[in-house]
Structure 1
């Protein structure tokens, strides 16, 4: 049974599942087959790939698992190739080919673009000419990205934390169930290299990295073209273009762009919003007494998940909140304890068992990474906590597990609506059993028992009250303020999340907050799905508390 006393939050466990290959349509131009596969066109705009050994798969993306053996490449990455022996060791300097086990610093010199290799015993570093950067001076002065960097084709291969990127065809990715050429919508620019790219529409170029035996991802240390403009306007010396006759604008042309002059950074724009059906419009939103967000339940970002939630794009779950706490009067840093959901400009819903009156709380909106500050974040102090009057916690279940958090405005401003911060819609209609809905949070995973640093999401099915109340499931523990979601078979079921976080269901492209992560017996176990607070039961309570607080403020 979950332990929820004293505000402890364990969240749900996500059992990872591999992604099915993207369904491609169209001709064989350009060739969709990887690793020198031969494309054959079929009827209906479909195609088939004839693969060369040892590759297989719909797009010849899968390699023989016996090719890359443990420790074969020493201090390097094993990548797949289309020619015998069907692999290659990509060594990290100062280790040398063929198997990256022998050290030879600065012999031959690895530094590019006139850089000088400086030997330090068995290690080295490159001293680059002005304007050049990167571990090997491979990043030229004009290496920058524009907008969100989806067209970026530069040579930055290091993250903001100076970690070296994995090759996109690294065997370590396949070993972890990740194939970038399969699971990403835009594989332009990806290839047998470790340069940063943005194939999923994130806010800037990124790459995969390896931390011990764990696969992670990080944003890259690549500049925006507008930053280079600032440098030019400040008369900071940069290496001039090779052809003096070219205007300065060519110097800052983003990699992969088709335009000549630089543009200002792209600004998020709202798309026309389809009206929400009246029967699903929340009374809370209708009776707003303060300036409300223009829309609810409509994320602007696409939901592209990599490795079952390893990477969630900022803005894909813009109503997700991180409830953070520290001891009252303490100067310690705030730590994440629960999830929450933004439902109104100054109001966040969370689970009642997340509340601890002995702690000072704040709410962070718009972020996906708990381990570092993000430019998309907005942080607010919790001014008022309203716990449901009939909240009750027993050794077996939690009842009326819901609470409202009123955020303290900063200079008269509550959270500002952006591409990364939006409200979820509140429904007053039910969704049918079997509906597929989404849960999100920073809960525990097989790789991280005490929680994930990255925001994760997973799909679950709504389970009927009759099934969930059967003797082999939860018997008579459930009341009408709870419901189950997940998979009764357990095992490969998805049941990831974080206490107080959202379960949202879609109708006509709009996301409605249908449940809050509450409690469960273990996780991923057969006949023990997750239990959620049924938001529709508490709409009147939510509305009365918010409007009552507004009247008192007047």
Structure 2
């Protein structure tokens, strides 16, 4: 078969060569011990690393546009990893593991101390002990430096000769793969059964249990196969089970016996989420005294020093053991279960708090974006940004403490180091960083003709778009780089010898010197330049104009304020919002979903008489004095399936689509919004005297997985599979009375998708009582069926 299809042999060989490597885009290791080669492919570069003779090759960097290959002796465990555009770092997996499988004959980690803490002697050394196992006697055992190894198959595992004259050798403190440190947040073993023996459900499956822990959206959680993991701050790893009667259960995984990884504590005050704070603040933001963590009175809880051994739960000091937004504690007030603590860090006249209300500014950047203070937290390829205070999945030095004037807040896109545009580290372990999906203010093009009908996205090449489904489809006329340098012709040989030419890539549209994207670079079209000192650069290509669902002409503020507490929206920035009113002007403020003739709302606010209502579209104020106002009567009300809180409204005639009236997008059928996703609600509802009455208000808060929302202290199993939770656990931010039927939209790939509609809650903005929304993805079939039936 392979003789008949030789290309298949090459594909199998390429997969085999790269299978032993972990790839990270946008990463670079700066080290002196390296070799550089000119190669034709990444597979050739891997072969250079595998056959390197000058040193032990732990990783290599490959630059596709230049076809450069750099093999290095270091990896991310030995040297810091830096940002570098269009470079991919490939690290050998066997040199990254710091645990053993079996007796550890293949262990290639960097542990260099014995179980009793003695430093290891170098394998080629002769003092204080003359070894009989050396790099020369065991050339395949990788006896490098003074790292622990098991060259002779010792049943006790890796060992080394020691620097203690009285102890010739000793086993090392390398742990077995199947143990966990702390609460198992970093556990990467393969246990896949629960404490009671139930088989774990695969994380990428939604059967038998729907959930929001989606591997493709939460790559930093390493939700592989059906292995036990701890993605949400539980005391230990767990999994959903394959038993319909048991949604989830903890797994039995022993704690490692060696000391856990050390942390550098923050003693004076905390920054970011405060997970490293080890100071002595013991009072909440309202002045309540904190309860001792080891006590169960007056608050009973599971956040104990035994369950969270690495979180510094000493006495009653404020801590953040479970991935909350900032340090908190249980209180000694029986009426207040817990509260956040308040602490500020000041340096160079800069003050950081975890989540201040962000000023309503235009979400575009000037110059190189160093002054950008917008709210975008998504990269150009749609990846979620990593928090600047987090070292997972990417360790880095761009922290709020080191860059106090860069406003490195939350996971918002910023430019702390003077790069060409705002960027962020990503939550994808395979992509270290990317530029963000933000336009330059001077080049933004927002022109949406009125009454233009919606056209669905198309897969054909777009004339001027970096947002086409495949970024290599751009065929526009631009021929200058982002800095204004003229592009070199793709067929030219000077001043740079190109890797991509019309002959080598005939289907990539490499005409003349036009900007193109022959390698599907995630940052968009580029070209070789006519500047001899810069081989290539990106081009500045504006997005295509046009009205699409979920893409308003006026960009929303996306503020992290609150409806109860107040953040007034920019006029017409949420154009799917409508107002349902009775003939006596009793208001029900809902939203548009299917603007041609039907809308989706919550059914509990409705009677079944269409003639009792009218619908107002294109308004920003309750007074509805805007010239853009459209008024429609109702022809039909269609209640949702029995036991659900959703309904469809059929308008008496279609709405006119323009920049003031535009639908949000329907979600994919049965899609579960991942836990922690930032979503937004809007409404004219009750503000409880906090201001902004009479104008549309907005707030953003995270989705809360139903597993968490149904805990006894929260909503106690009241939330059903066809519903979803969203809000801040501490309260203070919520939809409220009068917001029923309103939209919960989540932002992804430059589009707002309707994921929920406001249904119910226990009060407004109460702590531990998040809002509950109808999960629209569970009703997609029903919506499409009813619309088709009513329109026939």
TM-score by length of 1: 0.44
* Structure with larger RCO (C-alpha < 8 A, sep 6+): 1
- The structure with the largest strand share of the pair is 1
Which of the pair has more CA radius of gyration? 2
